[in-house]
Amino acid sequence: MFAYIVRRLVYGVITLFVLSALVFMLVQFGGGSPLDRLRLNPRMVNVIQKLTVKYGLDLPLYQQYFKWLSGFVSVDRFVVLGASAWIGFGSVVAATAGLFFTKVKATWFRPARAFGVVAIWVSFFWFAKSRVDFAMDWGDSFRGDGPVWDLVFGAAGATFRLGVTALSLALIIGLPLGVFQAVRQYSFFDQVGTLGSFIAFSTPIFIVATGLQVVLAFYLERWTGLKLFFVVGMTQVGYGDLGRLAQMGDIFRHLALPALSIALISIAGYARFQRAAMLEVLHSDYLRTAKSKGLPRRTVLVKHALRNALLPIVTIVTLDVAGIIGGAIITESIFGWPGVGRLYIGAINAVDYPVIMAIVMVIGMGIVFMNIVADILYGVLDPRVRYE
């Protein structure tokens, strides 16, 4: 398993390498110099000269690329605020190692261990976020917005909020929908669900997003006078002055429509996939065995059918993260959501290549990471899988 993960990581790094070179060349050939705009002003000659040297724009292309690459992988600042961070870090590493290497025979241990490791790492990042100031040297934005690292991670929180909400929605609605459809195969509910998910699956996110915006925000307010949802930004002006409950309501009213726009296509996809997976299990021999043992229908469906039917879903959901990021790019630009997606569109329009490169790489790394997570999860959940 370890060797397998290392191999996957190596492939992932190669992919990222190709990705970076591809985008870099594209930006160089197609984007022109980022300083072109300054050139229109004759008084800027000196400034252009200085900036050209500063960003190394006069160097040959491959040198520029390696300059960018060496910056991308090097640490800009790493400041630990206080000794407690080190203690926390040490104990997290120890606990993780302990979890990984214990050999417990009990069957509940495998999922429990996976859950424990994930929980510890999440709390580690939570901890590190407040106690450690860390940044990579990803260069400065050509638009003068400061270091790219800070730009990207300043926007990442917003995208994370949107993406996690959308993913949760998709899981909470999509999976049960598929399961019920399969259990009641050929029923009216199943047929409506199948048709509905087909339509949702065929509707581009930007149509869902603008459709929701127009109907649930604009026309709803016009016809009924109700202003239920906001269509721009994450919070309204004066958010800080609101009470706690009002703040939560405000977040919901901003988050609902963009999150639903992203989630809808995933809901449809998960429901379709879960239905198929569940049907396959329902027709399996071992389910007939379970029934012939005299188990109650609920136990047969939940313990024997669902447990197996959820296996392939794990892969689908982890791989769908790429789709959700893509959806976030579109949705953020429609709803003026101050996340990575909107930053990306802005950077492309301005040919701000350090920002473009950084975001493409972050998304690429996320996909590589999720692919590996999918494999590991599958290995944990399915006792038949052994990675050589």
Partner 1 sequence: MSDVLLAVDDLRTYFATEEGVVRAVDGVSFTINRGERRGVVGESGSGKSVTAMSIMGLIEPPAGQIVTGAIDFDGLNLLELPEDEMRKVRGGRIAMIFQDPMTSLNPVYTIGQQLIETIVLHQNVSKSAAREIAAQSLADVQIPYPASRLDDFPHQFSGGMRQRVMIAMGLSCNPELLIADEPTTALDVTTQAQILDLMLALADDRGTSVLLITHDLGVVAGFCDTVQVMYAGGIVESGSASDIFYDPKHPYSWGLLGSMTRLDAAQMHRLNSVRGAPPSVINLPEGCRFRPRCDFALDVCRERLPLLGPSDVEGHTVACHRAAELDLKLVTSEGAPR
Partner 2 sequence: MSNGASGIDESIDAAEGISAEPVTQWDLFRTRLARHKQARIAAIFLALLFAIVFVAPFVTCAERDAYCGKLLEHPATQLRDPENGLLLVQNPPSTTRPFGTDDIGRDVLSRVIHGGRASLTVGLTTGLLVATVGTIVGALAGYYPGAVDQVLMRIVDVILGLPLLPVAIVFGSLVPQIPVLPAFLKEGAWVIAFLLGILLWGGLARIVRAEFLSLREKEFVEAARAAGSNDRRIIFRHILPNAMSPIIVATTLVVGTAIIIEAALSFLGFGVRPPTPTWGGMSAAGARVATKGFWWEFLASSSALVATVLAVNFMGDGLRDALDPTQTIERK
Of residues 7, 18, 288, 302, which one binds partner 1 by CB under 8 A? Answer: 288
CA angle 382–385–388, rounded 5-degree value: 155
Amino acid at 105: K
Task: Please give the structure tokens belonging to residue 358.
Answer: 């950084």
Residue number, 11 or 115, with CB nearest to partner 2: 11
Of residues 62, 66, 86, 198, which one binds partner 2 by CB under 8 A? Answer: 198
Q: Exposed (0-12), middle (13-18) or buried (19+): which is 29, by Cβ within 10 Å?
A: exposed
Q: How far is the CB of 6 from partner 1 (least distance, A)?
A: 25
Distances (CA, A) of 36 to 51, 68, 81, 356, 358: 12, 20, 42, 17, 21
Q: Using CB under 8 A as the criterion, what x/- string covers residues 82-121 for binding partner 1?
A: -----------------------x-x--------------
Q: How far is the CB of 84 from partner 2 (least distance, A)?
A: 37
Closest by CA position to 365, among listed 78, 28, 17: 17
Closest by CA position to 282, among listed 271, 269, 297, 270: 297
Task: Please give the structure tokens belonging to residue 27.
Answer: 């930006």
Closest by CA position to 323, among listed 163, 153, 214, 98: 163
Q: How far is the CB of 167 from partner 1 (least distance, A)?
A: 24
Residue number, 102 or 349, with CB nearest to partner 2: 349
- Residue 151 interacts, among partner 2, partner 1, none and using kind-specific CB cut-offs from 5 to 8 Å, with none
Does 292 participate in binding partner 1 (rule CB under 8 A)?
Answer: yes
Q: How far is the CB of 17 from partner 2 (least distance, A)?
A: 9
**Phi–psi pair at 197, nearest 5 degrees:** -70, -30
Residues that bind partner 2 (CB under 8 A): 11-12, 14-16, 18-19, 22-23, 26-27, 29-32, 186, 198-199, 201-207, 210-211, 213-214, 217-218, 222, 231, 322, 325-326, 329-330, 333-334, 344-345, 348-349, 351, 356, 359-360, 363-364, 367-368, 371
Residues that bind partner 1 (CB under 8 A): 105, 107, 284-286, 288-297, 304, 307-308, 311, 381-384
